[in-house]
Amino acid sequence: MPEKVGRRLVAVARKLSVFIYHMLKRRERYNYFNPATYVRKFKRFHRLAGATPNRLRMATAKSAVVSSSIPFPEKAIQSC
């Protein structure tokens, strides 16, 4: 029984990694990217990291503007 679970787990991991590889290779944006959810999670991440409220407000504003115009949201984090 555990052998079957391991095989299924490896199969799912492989499919996910191939999916991510092709997205990165083609520089495609994730179709279900939601800017509002991204900003909410970005704020939460910065709060957990210990950002001050003023700095958090500035970082969120920058990320909201930048993330809507770039293919990869990671660049929004780097620009802050």
pLDDT tens sequence across 35-46? 888 888 888 888
pLDDT at 55: 64
Q: Which candidate, 56, 34, 55, places its Cα nearest to that of 44?
A: 56
What whole-number distance in Å separates Cα of residue 70 and Cα of residue 45? 20
The residue ranges of the chain whose pLDDT is under 70 are 1, 52-80
pLDDT at 60: 57
**Cα Rg of the chain (Å, integer):** 17
What whole-number distance in Å separates Cα of residue 14 and Cα of residue 21? 10
The residue behind tokens 């994730």 is 30
